[in-house]
A and B are shown apart, each in its own frame.
Chain A
Amino acid sequence: MTAFRKVKKGISLLLCTFLLFSVIGIPAVAEDKEEKKDIPKIEISFTVGESTLKINGKSVTVETPYVVDGTTLVPLRVITEAFGAKVTWDEKTQGITLEYKEVVIKLNIGKKTAYINSQVTELLQAPELKNSTTMVPLRFVTENFGADVSYNSQTAEITVVKENTESNSIKDYALILKRTTKDYIGDSYHKWHMPMPKEMRLRDRTFDGYYSYFVSDDGKREVMITIKDAESSDTPDTVAQKLIAIAKEYTLIESTKKVDKSHSEYYFVKYKDKEMTYEHKGYLSNGKIFYALSAVDNGATAQEKQVMSDIIEGFVLNFPTDGSVEDLSDVMSDGYRVFSENRMKFSLKVPADWIEVRLEDKENEFIFGRIQSNRLVGRIGVEIYSEQSGQTIEQWANMDRQHNIDMFNPACIIETSPVAPINVAGVSGYSYMIKMDNKKEKIIMNDIFLMKGKYRYNLTIELEESFMNSKDYYNAVLNSFKVEEIYVEDVGQLTRFEQKNDIFTTYEEKNLECKVDIPVNWNREEQNSTSVVFFDPESGRGVNIFTNENKNADPAEKVGRQLKNYMSEEKGAQILDSDDYEINNIKMYFFKYTLPNENDGNFVYTAYIAYGNGKLYSIVFTTPYIGDGKETATIFKKIVDSFKFL
C-alpha cells in the first residue's frame, strides 16, 4: 500500500490530507497491533533492482528499491510491513515520523537532517519521493530499530534481520559474572558448608573436590578445605594429634575439643607466627577426615578477623537443600562427574568418589584413581600424543599390547584379547583387553586407541574385577568419552616417550670394588660403604648390590646354596628357581624366590651370589610379581652379565 500518492488536481488540500490520514492512520494502527504480537523475527531480504521483496516470510511487491551514492532507499511500506512501525505524515513539512518501540525517527523529504528521539543527526542521503512513493534510507531506519543489515557484494542481496525480543536489562549480574550472591558455600557431594563473605572467592579446587582454596580480594585472608580418606586406624584422637603436631610448629593460642552448631565434635587449634594467625579444625566423619583452615594476615582489622573466625566456626558437615548454599559439587545424579579438558578437547565421566592424580607439568596425561583399603582398585588414564607417521593406530595398539605381554609375569596373565576394532566417541579405533591375577585380586585392563585430527589418544580403563562387577564403570566411562579436534597451533607437538630399556650406562662402584651396567633411566642410591641400590621408580624394578665378609673364603656355589636353604627354611621363602651361573669368569650361584605375607605388594627376588676381592657379593634383583616377565628377565640378565670386579 503506497500511502502517499499524489492526489488528483482539484481536490482540496484539506480533503487530501484527510484521505491520506484515513488511509494510513487506521490500517496502520491495526497492522501495528497485529505485527507486534506475532513476529518473533523480523526479516527483510531482496536483491537490489528487484521489486519483489521477502518481508517476514511473505513476498511483497513494492516500488523498486534503488541505490543513491551507496545508500539503499526503500519504500516506506517495507519498513512498516516488516516492523509494524507507526507512521505519521506531516504534509506541511513533508515530514515522516516513524515510531517503533521506544524509538521515534523524524525524517523530511529532501532533507538530510533527521532526528532519533530528538537527537539530531545527518543522513548520507535524504528521503525522496519516487513515483509518489516515499523512499527512505533502509540502513538508517532499520539499524535504528535495532536490526542488523548485511550486504552480499557478490549477489547484490541485502538482508535485514532483527530478533524481535524486548530489550531486557540485566536483573541478575551474578548469572553473567558467575559470582555467587549466596551467603554460604559448600559441597553437596562431600557434604559440608560454611559462610562465605562477598570479598572471598574460590581460587582453586581439585577435580575431585578434595581440596578447595578461597582467598580474599586483597589476598590477605585465605581458607582451605581439605578432605582425606580416613584409614581404618584413624580415630578422632588421631585427627587431634595431627592438628596438635602442626600447631606445635607455631606459637600456640588454643588447642581444644569443640562441638559445632550441628552438635558434631571436632578438634580445634589456633596458632600464629609473625605474619599470620591460623585457625584449624578437623573432623573424622563417614570414613573421611575434614580439615578447615583459615590463615589471616596479622595486620587485618578486628572486623576482618572476626569474619574469618566465623567462617571456621560456621563450617559444618552437612549440606542444606533449601537453596541458601552455593554448591561447588558437580556430581551428577548418576553418581559421576564430568571431567572436561578445554585445551585437549576431551571429556569423560569419572565416578564421583574417584580422585584425580595430578602429574606436574604433564599436560597430555590424565589419571584418575579409586583408592580403597589402601589399594588402587581402579584407574582411568588418558594419554594424548601427536600423530606418528609410519605407525597406524592399529599398529600402535599392537605394539602396546605386545609390550605389556612382555612386561607382565606370564603367570599373571589369565586372559588376553587380540587387538580389535572399536567405536568410541564416534571415532573408529582399536582396543585390547588383558585380564591379570596378581595373587591378591584379578584386574581387567582395557586399552583403547583412537585418532582425532592430528592427535592420537590412549584411553586406559583398569579395574579390579570384584570392583568392576559391582558397578558398571567400564561401560559408563567408555560411553561417556567424547573427543574433539585439538588446535594444533595451540598445543603443538606431543611426543610419546619410548622407554629405552636397552640403553645402559656403566657404574664403577669403588667402595664395592666392582662395576656394572645399569639402564640409563634408573636411579642410584648409596646405602652405605658396602651397599648400593639401583632402581626404576616407574616399573618398581631394582637391584641391590652389597658385600659381606667371607671369613671362610668359601666358594660362591657353596655359600649360595647355604643362603638359599636359610631363606627357605628360616624365612619361609618359596624358591622358584636356582642354579649355578658363570659370566665374565666369575662363578656365581643364583636363586629366585618370593617371601610370604608381604603387606605392601608381592615381589620376586633373584639373588646372585659371587665371591671376589676377598668378599662375598650379593646381587639381589627385585621386581613386583606382576612385572616378572620377559622384559624384566632381559634387563636383569643384561645387568648381571655386565658385572665385573674392579
Chain B
Amino acid sequence: MKKLVGAVTALAIICSAGLADIDFTPSVYVNGNKIEADIIMKDDRIYVPLRAVSESMGATVSWDETNNTASIETSRSDSILPQVIKDASPFVVAIIGGYSFEGTPAYKEKYMQGTAHGTGVIIKSGGEILTNAHVVKDLNNIIVVLYDGSGYEATIKYIDEETDLAVIKINRLGLQTARFADDEDIVIGKTVVAIGTPISFSLRNSASLGIISGINRSITNDYRLIQTDASINPGNSGGPLVNMNGEVVGINSSKLAGIGVEGMGFSIPAGTVKYVLKHFETYGRVRRPDIGATLQESVFAYMGLPADTGLMVSSVKEGSPAQTAGILINDTIIEVNGCAVHSIVDWNEEMKKYLPADTVTLKVQRGTEQKDISIKFSEK
C-alpha cells in the first residue's frame, strides 16, 4: 500500500501545481465494482466508509451505539450455516415405521417386522408433514419424531408415487412450518444444506452441506430434479434441501440417486412440490392430463444429449383422446401449445400446466408435414 500512497502523493503535488479542480481522491474497487461513497485520503492512508466497503464484499455491518462499536460479519458459510440449520430444524421431522417383509404369513408378522426411516418437512402448523411417497408407502405404522423429541403416530393423507411425494398428518397443533423458495432462487452454485436422518435413526436432524450442482436434471425420474453434492443418504429421503435464506428449495429423494455414485444427490424442486400440494388440496390427488398414447423419446433424449427430435407416438389406445384427435402411430409430437417437448420429462413438466378436460394444440410432424392438432385431455 505504501508505494501507491507515495505515487498518489507525488501526483497530488504535481497536479496541485496548476489544476486545483481535478479530483485526486482515490477510487476504490471491490471485485471490479467501484465504491460509490466518500473516500478520504489522510496521512497517506485511504479511508473508506466502513459500511460501503464491507457490504460490497458481502459482509454485514452493525453499529452498537451504547458501546460505540461497529461489528463486521463476513458471510462465509461458517457463521451463517449454524443459524440456518438451527432455524430450519424445528420444521424437519424424523420418520420411522415398521413394515412387513413381503409375503409374510400373518403369524410371522408379529415378529418379522423391519423398521425403515426417513425425514419429513412440516408444511402446515395443524400437523401436515411432507415426505417422499416411498418412505411411507409400505409402512404398517408411521411414527414422526419432532425436533423437541416427542413422537406421534401419523397417517397418510395424500400420496403421489409418480413425483414420490406424500403428505402425512399427526395429531399436534402449533407446529413451525417450512417456507418454500421461489423458482428464481434455485440457481446453480448456490449453497444448500440437506437436513435429515441419514443411515441410522440416532442421526436425526443431521446436516450436510453442498451446492446446487445442476437444475433441470433427470435420470430415471419422470420430472426434473435439482442435482446437489450435499450428501443424500437413504434416511435423508423426504427431508429438505435448504438455501441460506432458510427456504426449502427441494425435497431430497435418495431413491433417485445412482447406486454407487458419489457426490450426486437429487432433490424434487420446490416448483414440483407446490404443484403437487396444490392438487392434493384441491382434488385430493394429482390429476394428470392424458392423451391415451404411448410416447417415446429419441435415443439422444434418453441419453441426455441435446435433442430436438420430439416424441414419437408408438401406440394409440382405443377410444382415447389421441385416437379421437386423429393422431397416428409414428407421428412425432414437437410442441404443446407452442412449447417444445423433446423428452418424456419435457412432456411431464408441460403437463403440469394443464388439467384433464383441458384442450391444447399439439404440433405434430407426420412424415415431412407438420400439422396442428387440437386435442382434449382425458385423465390418467
Contact = CB atoms under 8 A, between A and B. Distances in A.
Interface of A: 100-104, 116-117, 119, 121, 139, 142-151, 153, 163, 165, 167-170, 173, 176-179, 201-205, 207, 328, 330, 337-343, 347
Contacts of B150: 169-170
Nearest to A337: B107
Nearest to A176: B141
Contacts of B319: none
A167 B172 contact: yes
B110 interface: yes
A342 B104 contact: yes
B106 interface: yes
Contact of A340 (B106, B141, B174, B282): B106
Contacts of A101: 173-174
Nearest to B148: A169
- Give the interface centre of A116, A153, A337 by most chain B CB atoms within 10 Å: A116
A121 B177 contact: yes
Contacts of B137: none
A170 B106 CA distance: 25
Given A144-B125, A169-B152, A176-B143, A202 B174 contact: no
A169 B147 CA distance: 13
A340 B109 CA distance: 10
Nearest to B143: A176
Nearest to A169: B150
B-side binding surface: helix, strand, loop or mixed? mixed
Contact of B107 (A119, A142, A207): A207
A169 B151 CA distance: 5
Contact of A178 (B110, B125, B153): B110
A167 B128 contact: no
A103 B107 contact: no
Interface of B: 96-98, 103-113, 115, 124-128, 141, 143, 150-153, 157, 169-174, 176-177, 281-284
A203 B114 CA distance: 10
A117 B174 contact: yes
Contact of B111 (A104, A151, A205, A207): A205
A103 B125 contact: yes
- Give the interface centre of B109, B127, B173 by most chain A CB atoms within 10 Å: B173
Which 5 pairs, one residue from A and one from B, show the smallest C-beta to C-beta distance? A340-B106, A169-B150, A202-B111, A170-B151, A146-B126
B160 to A, nearest CB: 17
Given A169-B151, A173-B143, A177-B143, A204 B173 contact: no
- Give the interface centre of B150, B170, B171 by most chain A CB atoms within 10 Å: B171
A170 to B, nearest CB: 4
B174 A150 contact: no
A168 B105 contact: no
Contacts of A148: 157, 169
A54 B28 CA distance: 70
A328 B150 CA distance: 30
Contacts of A117: 125, 174, 176
Given A116-B125, A146-B126, A178-B98, A103 B174 contact: yes
Contacts of B151: 169-170, 173
B169 to A, nearest CB: 8
A139 B278 CA distance: 13
B171 A146 contact: yes
Given A117-B174, A148-B157, A205-B108, A170 B126 contact: no
Contacts of A116: 125, 174, 177
A286 B188 CA distance: 74
Contacts of B152: 167-170
Contacts of A102: 173-174
Contacts of A204: 108, 112
A201 B173 CA distance: 36
Contact of B283 (A119, A153, A343): A153
Given A116-B125, A119-B177, A177 B106 contact: no
A207 B110 contact: no
B118 to A, nearest CB: 15
Nearest to A340: B106
A177 to B, nearest CB: 5
